[in-house]
Structure 1
Amino acid sequence: MARRYTTSIPKLVSKIHYCQRRRLNSTAYINLDDSKELFSTVTTSKLMATAFTLHVVMNEAMIHFGSKVMNSRLMDTPISREVLLGSIEHTLYHHFCGGKTLKDADRAARKLWESGLQSMLDYGMEHAHDNASCDHNMREIIHTISSTLSLPSSPVSSVVVKITAIFRPQLLKRVSDLLRWEFMDNSLHLPWKLQSFPLLSNSSALYHTPHGPEALTLEEERDLDLGFERLIKICESSLEANVPLLIDAEDTAIQPAIDYFTFHAAIMYHNGNKPLIFNTIQAYLKDSKERLVMAKRAADKAGIPLGIKLDTHDCYNACAAFMLEGIANGPGSLILATHNIESGKLAAAKVVGTGMKRDNVQFAQLYGMAEALSFGLRNAGFKVSKYLPYGPVEHIVPYLLRRAEENRGFVSTAALDRQLMRKELLRRLTTLEK
């Protein structure tokens, strides 16, 4: 049964009216100088806790150390594993995650909603080992989708899905190898292949598949069918709840298979001119712009609205400009996932400059990160979501550490947040504001 979001109605209405007033006065410029305006919806206690946590954990040495520890033999010993996970839970995990359960994540989503932000709920399990764990993950994802059936305007903007949670990674590698080899050899016939958009380009890295792979075995084809059934059930649930699915990018060795499944689902499921399925393009890859252009043109030709989430900032601005120009005069939607201040400002200016509907664009940052950018975009009238993972500590933390290592703007953005938070705390202390 879907849960209802309940909160103080006068308080919620007040927050919404505040954000609506800001939208009426929005401009292309994102103001990150006025700390009072940026953190107006954040309590002093929350501000102090956030500033302290960022000071402790957000530095490159800590990120590298955390990655080494999580991959060390210390995690193989029950006592040391418990101690390490306990310490991580009360620092990194507590700050960057919505909690261990969906109920915890719902509470975090309500708090974000009261501050004018939405949430992208992410059940953070990945790399399933067998069909039983894939089935379990599918049920949890569907449960997450069902939980969004609450208000006409939901605190949840989308639900995140990792394909490795519902397909075994070994199978994804096999499928990716065959898709790469098919790209290099047009005579290769893949009997299981369904309709999709272009997956690879001439600039794509093909070194992951140096030799011609064997065809899928009967058992692998059976597992492929089971994975498709899981994806279809998730999409059907998403369509019923009218909440978009955001498919995360993962390891480049298996990304062709992820793109294949995602684009096939996008062709099957959409709401008129509104995409239901969003694929993630990692803009640091050299072939990202070429693949993005090919997919957009194929989608336009087929009359399918394309939903794209852009990640990281190498080549990011060019990809963002291409998609924004495309959806300004046609179908499609874009999620701009960035912690880079300049990329955020450029994209915001592009949206205003084209005069496009802002409903087709939203920005996204990790929960607990890039707070100034999130609030600055919110105050300028843009839809902003925080990527809100939840689940067991041992499964979520490695993912967050990988994201931190991938994102070059992670640490610099944390430094800006700390600077602005200290400025606002000093202002409140000197004016005796709470």
Structure 2
Amino acid sequence: MRTATKITARSLSSVATKFPAAGLPPPPQPPSYIDLSDTRRLFASIPTSALIRSLAILSAMATGPLVDLAGAALRSSVPKERRLLRATVLTAARATVHRHFCAGEQGEDAARMVRAMWTDAGLRSILDYGMEDADDAAACDRNLAGFLRAVDMASSLPPTSTSVCVKMTALAPISLLERASDALRWEQQNPSFPVAWRTHSFPVLCAFSPLYLTPTEPQPLTETEENDLQLAARRLSAICQRCAQANIPLLIDAEYSSVQPAIDYLTYWAELKFNHGDKPTVYGTIQTYLRDSRERMRNAAGAAAAAGVSLGIKLVRGAYMSRETRLAAAMAAPSPLHGSIQETHRCFNDCASFMMGRVSRGAAALVVATHNVQSAQAAAMKAQELGIGKEDERVQFAQLMGMANGLSYGLRNAGFRVSKYLPFGPVEQVIPYLLRRADENRGLLSSSAADRQLIRKELSRRLAVAIAGKN
């Protein structure tokens, strides 16, 4: 019996190339909305000196041993005899990675960066006062004041140029978020477990969630802990209220799995309170490298529809891979992450497509936060397919400052709304953020490889033009 041969567009293309007499037309190519081929146009607003500096920093961060040394020096608990090394590294970090990935040390620095990006590059900004991992209520109150100043500053900038981002670990003590997350995980396993402080039924976990993080039944929250959780909610509400008054979107970051259930609980509490109408104020974050992300997002969308609120979602791949992997290994448990980068790509694209459908029906808003060209292309095509206008405020793309600039400019040139994520604060304050960027950029196949390739292409072009001009 003859085995059937699977005919694909790729095989047809190969036949047409080898045997043109067969008259087979080339396979149709999907429309392209993002053009990264013309680096002259992409980097038109960027001085050569800035391109050279970016290339140097990104190349250095792809060097594993160098990143390991700098990371060790930046971390806390440095012995006395190594404090000079830490001070030296902090000085170097301020002049290099902090300058590359952050918008400055003070709010005024960040405001200048927002205006420059808006005026010179046509890009929006997501301001992040770089605080996280608070230990007590006093630190949370200080952080609240800093976030409110960031919102007030954003309200003085050009309209629609700025969003604001917060981390719940800056507004609630880590230990409290862990305890609340334990309660929510145990409730997922045993619905009869008392969670008296719950004020809404939005689902924050599903069957695929890493419930092993709570291996035994936890003690219910004490009265003091319940009061502290209400204080955390009030801090978040104060920021949401200020953002709603100024018409500024508020994006709440996702963090690591041990505290994420409590973060989602508080995020959905805020969305229920503030996201009435077609344009939400509050956005939660879904990290698609997690196995449970697709189901959690769909469950949240269903709950939002039932509650009559507009669901705001920022979609990312995720930034805590090393931490999640180490924790799972320490507990002899399966990793909560997808088994391969291809699975993560598929999950991201599926989630983006699903949310685009919600946006097209007026039930949601989406920030497609990606450095992956293929994912950005797929999301752009889906928006066009569904008739979502490029200037629709309910859809925007986002990339981190200092990363995927070519993609940002390509999306901007195609007419989409594009934001750069701008953390700001003293070097010592944003060390956790810088360490995550170092981890993300290390290695020859890091996420910055495409950035470096585009920058090299443009620098080569500019050099060739300069040489031709002299001749």
TM-score (ref. length: structure 2): 0.82
Distance 1:365 1:240 in 2: 26
What per-residue deviation string (whole Å, max 9, x for no partner) do you get for residues 182-223 of structure 1? 111111222211115211111111000011111111221221
Separation in 2, partners of 1:251, 1:413: 20
Single out whichever of 65-74 and 44-53 deviates more from structure 2.
65-74
- Match for residue 335 of structure 1? 367
Q: Distance in 2 between matches of 1:28 and 1:260?
A: 39
Q: How does 1:265-344 map to 2 (within 5 A)?
A: 265-312=270-317, 313-314=344-345, 315-344=347-376
Counterpart of 1:116 in structure 2 is 122
SS of residue in 2 equivalent to 1:418: helix
Q: Is the 8 A contact 1:75 1:81 kept in 2?
A: no
Q: Which amino acid aligns with 2:202?
A: F
Aligned 1:193-208 pairs, distance under 5 A? 193-208=198-213
Match of 1:150 in 2: 156
More relative contact order, 1 or 2 (CA 8 Å, 6+ apart):
1
Q: 1:31 aligned to 17, 28, 35, which one?
A: 35
Q: Aligned letter for 1:39?
A: F
Question: Which of 94-103 and 71-80 deviates more?
Answer: 71-80
- Equivalent of residue 418 in structure 1, options 452, 460, 465: 452
3-state secondary structure, aligned to 2:396:
strand
Q: Which residue is equivalent to 2:178?
A: 173
Is the contact made by 2:406 and 2:451 (CA closer than 8 Å) also made in structure 1? yes
Higher-Rg structure is 2
Task: Please name the residue that 1:223 is paired with.
Answer: 228
Residues 1:387 and 2:421 are matched in the alignment: yes
Which of residues 211, 214, 217 in structure 2 aligns to 1:212?
A: 217
What do residues 298-334 of structure 1 show as CA deviations (whole Å, max 9, x unaligned)?
1112111000011114421111111112211232110
Q: CA deviation at 1:247?
A: 0.4
Distance 2:53 2:439 in 1: 23
The answer to whether the 8 A contact 2:63-2:443 is kept is no
> Conserved in 2, the CA contact under 8 Å of 1:196 and 1:260?
no
Question: Structure 2 vs 1, CA of residues 211 and 407 (structure 1 numbering), >3 Å: closer, same or farther?
Answer: farther
Query: What secondary structure is seen at the aligned counterpart in 1 of 2:125?
Result: strand
CA distance in 2, matches of 1:408, 1:81: 20
After superposition, what is the alpha-carbon deviation per residue over 1:260-287, rounded to whole angstroms, capped at 9, x for unaligned? Answer: 0000000000251111111010100001
Report the counterpart of residue 20 of structure 1 in structure 2.
none
Q: State the Cα distance separating 1:33 from its structure 2 match.
A: 0.7
Larger CA deviation: 243-252 vs 401-410: 401-410
Cα distance change of structure 1 residues 69 and 202 upon mapping to structure 2, 3 Å threshold: same
Shift of the 339–44 alpha-carbon distance from structure 1 to 2, 3 Å rule, reads same
- Following superposition of structure 1 onto structure 2, how do residues 62-81 of structure 1 map, counting pairs within 5 Å? 62-71=66-75, 74=78, 77-81=82-86
Compared CA separation, residues 254 and 105, structure 1 to 2 (3 A): same
Q: Is residue 371 of structure 1 aligned with residue 405 of structure 2?
A: yes
* Structure 1 stretch displaced more, 407-416 or 167-176: 407-416
- Residue in 2 that maps onto 1:24: none
Using a 3 Å threshold, how does the CA distance of structure 1 residues 403 and 182 change in structure 2: closer, same or farther?
Answer: farther
- Work out whether 1:429 is the aligned partner of 2:429: no
Where 2:105 maps in the other structure, the secondary structure is coil
Instruction: Tell me if the contact between 2:194 and 2:220 (Cα under 8 Å) persists in the aligned partners.
Output: no
Kindly provide the CA deviation profile for residues 307-365 of structure 1, in whole angstroms up to 9, marking residues without a partner as x. Answer: 00111144211111111122112321101111111111111111112211332211111
CA apart distance, 1:407: 7.8
CA distance in 1 between counterparts of 2:307 and 2:411 reads 33
Q: What SS class does the counterpart of residue 188 from structure 1 fall into? A: coil
Match of 2:11 in 1: none
In the alignment, is the contact (CA less than 8 A) between 1:74 and 1:80 conserved in 2?
no
Is this contact kept in 2: 1:336–1:361, CA < 8 A?
A: yes
Task: Identify if the C-alpha distance between structure 1 residues 65 and 316 changes in structure 2 by more than 3 Å, giving closer, same or farther.
Answer: farther
| Residue 56 of structure 1: aligned partner | 60
In the TM superposition, what is the alpha-carbon distance from 1:62 to its structure 2 partner? 4.1
* Cα pair distance change 1:72/1:228, threshold 3 Å: closer
2:110 and 2:422 in contact (8 A); partners too = yes
Tell me how far 1:85 sits from its aligned partner: 1.0
How well do the aligned residues superpose, as a CA RMSD in angstroms?
Answer: 2.1
User: Which runs of structure 2 are paired with 1:85-164 in the superposition (5 Å)?
Assistant: 85-114=90-119, 115-150=121-156, 153-156=159-162, 158-164=163-169
Q: Greater shift after overlay, 252-261 or 320-329?
A: 320-329
Select 2:48's aligned residue among 34, 37, 44.
Answer: 44
Contact 1:70 1:398 in 2 (8 A): no
Contact 2:276 2:309 in 1 (8 A): no
Q: CA deviation at 1:427?
A: 2.2
> What SS does structure 1 have at the residue aligned with 2:284?
strand
Query: Hey, what's the Cα distance between the residues in 1 that align with 2:152 and 2:314?
Result: 23
* 1:130-163 per-position Cα deviation (integer Å, ceiling 9, x unaligned): 111100100110110011123553421x101100
In structure 2, the residue corresponding to 1:363 is in which secondary structure?
strand
Unaligned segments of structure 2, at least 5 residues: 1-30, 318-343
**Cα separation, 2, equivalents of 1:97 and 1:330:** 34
Name the amino acid aligned to 2:300. Answer: A
Provide the secondary structure at the position in 1 that maps to 2:399. Answer: strand
| Alignment size in residue pairs | 406
Indicate conservation of the 8 Å contact 1:232/1:265, yes or no: yes
